Amino acid sequence: MFKDLFIRKTLAELEEQADSNHNSLKRHLTATNLTLLGVGCVIGAGIFVLTGTAAALHAGPAVALSFIISAFGCLLAGLCYAEFSSMIPVSGSAYTYGYATMGEFVAWIIGWDLILEYLFGSATVAVGWAGYVTSFLADFGIVIPKTLCQSPFVFDDKGWHASGAIINFPAIFIVALMTTLLVIGIKESAKFNNVIVLIKVTVILLFIGFGISHIHIANWTPFIPVNTGSFGHFGWSGVLTAAAVVFFAYVGFDAVSTTSQEALNPKRDVPRGILFSLLICTVLYIAVSLVLTGILNYKYLNVEAPIALAINSAGPGLVWLRPIIKIGAIAGLSSVVLVLLLGQSRVFFTMASDGLLWKSFAKTHKKFKTPHITTIVTGCFAAFFAGLFPIGLLGEMVSIGTLLAFVIVSIGIILLRKAEPHAVRGFKTPWVPFVPILGALVCFAQMAALPMDTWIRLIAWMLIGFVIYFTYGRKHSHARLKRKNASN
Q: Which domains does the chain have, with CATH numbers?
A: 3-487 (1.20.1740.10)
- Residue of higher predicted confidence among 305 and 289: 289
d(CA 102, CA 14): 14
**Both ends of the chain: CA-CA distance in Å?**
17
pLDDT at residue 250 is higher than 80: no
- Residue of higher predicted confidence among 295 and 372: 295
Per-residue model confidence as pLDDT tens digits over 34-74: 787 778 777 776 677 778 888 998 999 999 999 899 888 88
d(CA 389, CA 155): 9
Report yes or no: 204 and 288 within 8 Å, Cβ to Cβ: yes
d(CA 331, CA 361): 30
Backbone φ and ψ for 413, nearest 5 degrees, come out as -60, -40
pLDDT at residue 198 is higher than 90: no
Please give the pLDDT value at position 22: 45
Please give the pLDDT value at position 390: 77
Write down the H helix ranges in 316-433.
321-353, 372-388, 391-419
Report yes or no: 277 and 101 within 8 Å, Cβ to Cβ: no
pLDDT at residue 354 is higher than 80: yes
Q: Select the highest-mean-pLDDT range: 133-147, 269-283, 380-394, 416-430.
A: 133-147
- State the virtual CA torsion across 208, 211, 217, 220 in degrees, nearest 10: -50
Q: What whole-number percentage of the chain has pLDDT above 70?
A: 88
Lowest mean pLDDT among 97-106, 339-348, 361-370: 361-370
Per-residue model confidence as pLDDT tens digits over 218-231: 999 999 999 988 88
Please give the pLDDT value at position 259: 66
- Packed helices 391-419 and 434-448: angle between N→C axes, nearest 10 degrees: 160
Cis status, amide bond into 222, omega within 30 of 0: yes
Please give the pLDDT value at position 17: 65
pLDDT at residue 21 is higher than 50: no
Q: What is the mean pLDDT of residues 264-282?
A: 79
d(CA 301, CA 316): 20
Please give the pLDDT value at position 472: 94
Q: What is the mean pLDDT of residues 441-448?
A: 87
Q: Report the predicted TM-score, pTM, of the whole model to 2 decimal places.
A: 0.78
Q: What is the mean pLDDT of residues 389-401?
A: 72
pLDDT confidence of 123, banded at 50, 70, 90? confident
H or E element: which one contains 161? strand 159-162
pLDDT confidence of 8, banded at 50, 70, 90? confident
pLDDT at residue 202 is higher than 80: yes
Please give the pLDDT value at position 350: 84
Backbone φ and ψ for 152, nearest 5 degrees, come out as -75, -10
> Which CA distances in Å does 330 have to 39, 189, 288, 458?
15, 17, 17, 30
- Residue of higher predicted confidence among 93 and 461: 461
Please give the pLDDT value at position 173: 94
Please give the pLDDT value at position 448: 86
Please give the pLDDT value at position 462: 92
d(CA 325, CA 331): 10
**CA-based angle 255:261:266, to the nearest 5?**
80
pLDDT at residue 24 is higher than 60: no
Q: What is the mean pLDDT of residues 128-148?
A: 87
Output the average pLDDT for the chain.
83
Please give the pLDDT value at position 103: 87
Q: What is the mean pLDDT of residues 182-199?
A: 74
Please give the pLDDT value at position 151: 84
Per-residue model confidence as pLDDT tens digits over 110-122: 889 888 888 888 8
Q: What is the mean pLDDT of residues 250-277?
A: 73
Which residues, at least 6 apart from 167, have a Cβ–Cβ distance to it below 8 Å?
A: 148, 152, 387, 388
Which residues, at least 6 apart from 459, have a Cβ–Cβ distance to it below 8 Å?
A: none
Q: What whole-number percentage of the chain has pLDDT above 90?
A: 21
Strand 153-156 vs strand 159-162: parallel, antiparallel, or unpaired?
A: antiparallel
pLDDT at residue 146 is higher than 90: no
Report yes or no: 85 and 270 within 8 Å, Cβ to Cβ: yes
Per-residue model confidence as pLDDT tens digits over 76-85: 888 888 788 7
Please give the pLDDT value at position 212: 92
